[in-house]
Structure 1
Amino acid sequence: MRVAMHQPHYLPWLGLIDKIDRCDLFVVLDHVQYERRGWQNRNYVASKSGPVLLSVPVIQGNRNDRIMDKLINNDQKWQEKHRRTLAEHCYRGAPFFDRFGQDFLRLYDTEWERLIDLSMASTRFLLTGFGITTPIVLASDLGDFPGQKSELLAQICAKVGADVMLSGDGARDYVDQGLFQKYGIEVEWQNFQHPEYPQPARGKGEFLPRVAALDLLLNVGPDGLGLLRAARAPTAGA
């Protein structure tokens, strides 16, 4: 069984959606430390003039805050800004905005308290839109794990009965493959290849990669999953 893991992201990018689609079970690492100035609460969307950054304001706690405990700062009226950016400045004329856009905008009708809940809602919306049915579990629901870094990931794999962990290429420098072998788990590398696709709202602008996966869904629709799969390079073993 192939398992992939990652921290939850608001408006996840295509690399994360691709990882979820490739595995038999996806584990959300909601119990790990929140990364300040990272990508867990923000991402870019594509406009005619270029990338636009959408950030969810969070309440600053201490550096040991876990993602699952991170609270949104709703004193800042971020919902309306995100709604207007998507609906008026980026995707009003996108081919699949009528089919998916209005439903996505309803996420902003809720005053979310926890970042994890908003992140999971945006991620599940995209997975449903693309037709991806990979089961998802929260690491916090699996129990306590004493390990750190590679050992933590290996322990989670063992807990869910995995024999393969699919990892993003950015983890090559810190994943201890020898430790995974002790747990009887093979490591495969995602080797993500970004597809190119039409972005009508960009006009004559060059293709803008690495924005939120919502961009692919609103521009191409469910068939975007086929483009994502067709662009793949083979996974690399340990």
Structure 2
Amino acid sequence: MNVAIMQPYFFPYIGYFQLIHAVDTFVVYDDVHFIKKGWIHRNRILIDGHPHPFTLSIQKMSQNRLICDHERAQPDEIAEQQLKLLRHAYHKAPQFEHVFPLLERVIRHPERNVGKYLAYGIEEVARYLGISTTFILSSELNAGVGLKGQARILKICEQLKATHYMNAINGMALYDADVFEQAGIDLSFIKTDSMTYDQGPRPFQPNLSIIDVMMHCSTPEIQFMLERYALVSNRQVT
């Protein structure tokens, strides 16, 4: 069984969904420490041809607490602001009528827990894209508690009876292929192909939120994009 384990991000970029698409089970790693300067609570959308911040408001953010120990701030009030910003940004986009109801459902979702809320949004987008991967919260697994880094990842993989662990390309330095091999688990990393799509008349802006991809591309087009990656080993030069 192919497994991936990643922190939850706020409407992450398409490479995150390539990873989800590539595995049988995706573990939302929500019981690790919150990272303020990461992508857990922020992303970028396109406004007037330029990247613009799109953020999730969180109460009392702290890197000393776990992701799953955080709560959203004023979700009802802030949801209206977020939806207004998305309407302004994408009301002329070709897929707006199809995508906006999905975004509205996710953004209005009443869940206050940050880990569960982000997991809900990620899974809703995945289902919209036709991805059937199974989702699990690490906080509900109770696997490898007290362990850190690679040791805990291995424990989770062993509990799920994984035969192949996959991660994003920027995680290569975190894992030792020999250690995984000794545990009977293959180790691979997804290297996303360079890709562009029609965002309008201005220069293309890469690596935006999946929101931008969905607003400009049809579901069949995105499904084709989800396959545009290579699996590489950290034993080989990339």
Q: TM-score, normalised by structure 1?
A: 0.90
2:32 counterpart SS class: coil
Provide closer, same or farther for how the CA distance between residues 41 and 218 of structure 1 changes in structure 2, counting only shifts above 3 A. Answer: same
CA contact (8 A) 1:167 1:188 kept: yes
CA–CA distance in 2 between the matches of 1:217 and 1:20? 16
The letter for the 1-side match of 2:170 is: G
Residues 1:236 and 2:235 are matched in the alignment: no
Contact 1:28-1:136 within 8 A present in 2 as well: yes
* CA pair 209-115 structure 1, distance change in 2 beyond 3 A: same
State the one-letter code of the partner of 2:216: N
Aligned to 1:130: 129
> Which runs of 5 or more structure 1 residues have no equivalent in the other structure?
none
Q: Which residue of 1 aligns with 2:190?
A: 190
| SS of residue paired to 1:235 | strand
Amino acid at match of 2:228: A
Task: Give aligned-pair identity as a percent.
Answer: 21
Matching of residue 223 in structure 1 with residue 220 in structure 2? yes
Q: Cα offset for 1:230?
A: 4.7
Distance 1:109 1:19 in 2: 26
Query: Hey, what's the Cα distance between the residues in 2 that align with 1:143 and 1:46?
Result: 39
CA pair 75-204 structure 1, distance change in 2 beyond 3 A: closer
How many aligned positions are there?
233
Q: Distance in 2 between matches of 1:71 and 1:223?
A: 35
Amino acid in structure 2 at the alignment position of 1:236: V
1:166 paired to 2:162:
no
Query: The residue matched to 1:26 in structure 2 has which SS?
Result: strand
Residue identity in the other structure for 1:7:
Q
Alpha-carbon distance between aligned partners in 1 of 2:111 and 2:46, rounded to the nearest angstrom = 24
The answer to whether structure 1 residue 175 and structure 2 residue 195 are counterparts is no
Q: Does 1:143 align with 2:142?
A: yes
The structural deviation recorded for 1:191 is 1.0
Q: Secondary structure at the match of 1:211?
A: coil
Equivalent runs, 1:24-173 vs 2, <5 Å: 24-60=24-60, 62-74=62-74, 77-88=77-88, 90-145=89-144, 146-173=146-173
Q: Please say if residues 10 and 120 of structure 1, whose CA atoms lie closer than 8 Å, have aligned partners that are also in contact.
A: no
1:70–1:115 contact (8 Å) kept in structure 2: yes
Closer, same or farther: CA 63–76 of 1 in aligned 2, 3 Å:
farther
C-alpha distance 196-59 of structure 1, shift in aligned 2 (>3 A): same
**1:163 and 1:105 mapped to 2: Cα distance?**
37
Quick check: 138-147 or 123-132, which moved more? 138-147
Partner in structure 1 of residue 201 of structure 2? 204
User: Do the aligned partners of residues 197 and 181 (structure 1) sit closer, same or farther apart at CA in structure 2, a change above 3 Å counting?
Assistant: same
Cα deviation, residue 126, structure 1: 1.2
Aligned-partner Cα distance in 2 for 1:75–1:126: 19
Structure 1 residue 177: deviation in Å? 2.2
TM-score, scaled relative to structure 2: 0.90
In structure 2, the CA distance between the partners of 1:57 and 1:226, relative to structure 1 (3 Å rule), is closer
Whether the 8 Å CA contact 2:75–2:108 is kept in 1: the answer is: no
What corresponds to 1:213 in structure 2?
Answer: 210
**Separation (CA, whole Å) in 1 of partners of 2:69 and 2:209:** 24
Instruction: Tell me how far apart the structure 1 counterparts of residues 47 and 28 of structure 2 sit (CA, whole Å).
Output: 30
CA RMSD of aligned residues (A): 1.9
1:133-181 superposed Cα distances (whole Å, 9 cap, x missing partner): 1111111121141321011111111110111111111111221222222
